[in-house]
Amino acid sequence: MRLCDNTALELAQMLRKKQCSAKEIYLDTLQRAIEKQDTLNAYITFNDDAEKAAEAVDRKIAEGKELPLIAGIPIAVKDNISTKGSRTTCASKMLCDYIPPYDAFVIEKIKNAGGVIIGKSNMDEFAMGSASDTGYFGAVRNPVDCNYSAGGSSGGSAAAAASGGAVLSLGSDTGGSVRQPASLCGVVGFCPSYGTVSRYGLIAFASSLDRIGTIGRTVKDTHLLHNIIYDADIKDVTAFYKNYSFNLKGALNGVKIGVIKELMSCYMEDDVRSSFMSAIKLMEENGSVVKEISLPDIKAAVNAYYIISSAEASSNLARYDGIRYGYRSEKCGSLSEMYKNSRSEGFGDEVKRRIMLGTFVLSEGFCDDYYKRAASLRRSLCAGFDEAFQQCDIIAAPVYPKAGFKLGESAVPAEVYSADIFTVPSSLAGLPAISVPCGKNKEGLPIGLQLIGSRFCDNKVFDAAYGYELIGGGYNG
């Protein structure tokens, strides 16, 4: 067994017992990442300063200094999170040469804790997509079966963690972009409550929805990384921080699990439904109380999500015009032509589709019919979740209607968007949610169980997920 195949907590113990060095862990993980790169395409850029960071950890350990458990652990970072001196592309031609002059807040926290950033992971362009195939640098493949997608938009982060090309990963989740690829790749993916992790340095897609999440091979590993990046930040005006001490207990006895009846009537593959129901039964057998709940607005959530997120994307991406930011076309006979050509050449099809949709729903004469109605539905959905959590502690749902899909599978955008029905409702409400492996389909592709908590009850979500993991949930992939 290679070093890179161990969990973060196992490696942390090995470091402290001097059974290996941080440099050895980094070099072994980098070697695995490079070995898999041609197959998986999980990375866009490798970090030239990573080896020095690992050596610095080894020096501190030799001096007998107490370090956070994450010190010396190789971490992949999604390429829409700013890293000082290392290019941050958002997998877009528009930013293919952009090198940020500052670190995102979460990167500062990881560096201060001694984490080793191995590189920037591949993704859907500007985090817009569900297969990590809309980006300028090519598609990310699933480590379980390279004919299949790793999911998106944080596909590179999930594929790296699942394959041993990273021990932990950071991703971003706007409508399911951490949870869905974690489910498809067979790892754990956590999306925190909106506001609990600073978005400073995260390149915006939809500002009222974007969150930075964590990916690992176990719940405890994922929790370890989350605890590092969860901290107060005055640079993010939407940030909410509550100082609390929390250790995972994994107690399921007496936990009330809600299952939304409207979601259970949605399409999902038989293997997904079977794995989900088996997971619910397993928790019930171990003391959880399962009950059916109703959220009538939930089936309209996908429509509301794509209206709101596209509207915000249209606004956020207006800055990329060839002058202030990003790629500039050489075909510029006039100023207006330069704007037009720079954006047409710099953005991919999916990003342009969402910009146009967002511009339309915000336009005069249509804003009331689309954007304001979507915002009203969002408020109603939030109220529905508040009421639901009066009846239960945790809501359980599938993560995705399929165990996987092949790269290049043809599908019209509306079909791709509708598959997000299980993840976008909690995104609209800003709720914490986690994907934990709960089985495989007949082809051996992983399937994820989603656990959702009420706002700012991230600890309950982690604890329920850890409890499920302890009783044998998931699989050893």
Give the pLDDT score at 247.
Answer: 82
Lowest mean pLDDT among 50-59, 173-182, 369-378, 467-476: 467-476
For residue 162, give the nearest of 128, 186, 134 by alpha carbon.
186
Q: What is the 3-state secondary structure (H, E, C) of the chain?
A: CCHHHCCHHHHHHHHHCCCCCHHHHHHHHHHHHHHHHHHHCCEEEECCCHHHHHHHHHHHHHCCCCCCCCCCCEEEEECCECECCECCCCCCHHHCCCCCCCCCHHHHHHHHCCCEEEEEECCCHHHCCCCCCCCCCCCCECCCCCCEECCCCCHHHHHHHHHCCCCEEEEEECCCCCHHHHHHHCCEEEECCCCCCCCCCECCCCCCCCEEEEEECCHHHHHHHHHHHCCCCCCCCCCCCCCCCCCCCCCCCCCEEEEEHHHHCCCCCHHHHHHHHHHHHHHHHCCCEEEEECCHHHHHHHHHHHHHHHHHHHHHHHHCCCCCCCCCCCCCCCHHHHHHHHHHHHCCHHHHHHHHHHHHHHCCCCCHHHHHHHHHHHHHHHHHHHHHCCCCCEEEEECCCCCCCECCCCCCHHHHHHHHHHCHHHHHHCCCEEEEEEEECCCCCEEEEEEECCCCCHHHHHHHHHHHHHCCCCCCC
pLDDT above 70: percentage of residues in the chain: 99
Query: If pLDDT is split at 50, 70 and 90, which confidence band does 477 have?
Result: very low
What is the mean pLDDT of the segment spanning 289-303?
97
Taking the complete model, does pTM exceed 0.95, yes or no? Answer: yes
Domain residue limits, the chain: 1-298+378-477, 303-368
CATH architecture entry for 1-298+378-477: Alpha-Beta Complex (3.90)
Q: What is the pLDDT of residues 100-135, one digit of tens each?
A: 999 999 999 999 999 999 999 999 999 999 999 999
Residue 395 has pLDDT above 60, yes or no: yes
Residue 440 has pLDDT above 90, yes or no: yes
Q: What is the pLDDT of residues 306-328, one digit of tens each?
A: 999 999 999 999 999 988 878 99
Terminal CA-CA length for the chain? 14
d(CA 395, CA 429): 13
Give the pLDDT score at 241.
Answer: 81
Q: What is the pLDDT of residues 215-265, one digit of tens each?
A: 999 999 999 999 999 999 999 999 888 777 678 999 999 999 999 999 999
Residue 1 has pLDDT above 90, yes or no: no
d(CA 115, CA 272): 35
Q: Quote the Cα angle for 269-275-279, to 5°.
A: 145
Residues serving a catalytic function are 78, 153, 177
Residue 140 has pLDDT above 70, yes or no: yes
Give the pLDDT score at 324.
Answer: 81
* Mean pLDDT score of the chain: 96
What is the mean pLDDT of the segment spanning 6-32?
98
Give the pLDDT score at 472.
Answer: 83
Give the pLDDT score at 474.
Answer: 58
Residue 476 has pLDDT above 60, yes or no: no
d(CA 284, CA 282): 5
What is the mean pLDDT of the segment spanning 439-444?
96
pLDDT above 90: percentage of residues in the chain: 92
- Residue 460 · residue 192 · CB < 8 Å: no
For strand 256-260 and strand 289-293, is the pairing parallel, antiparallel, or unpaired? parallel
Q: What is the pLDDT of residues 361-383, one digit of tens each?
A: 999 999 999 999 999 999 999 99
Residue 410 has pLDDT above 70, yes or no: no
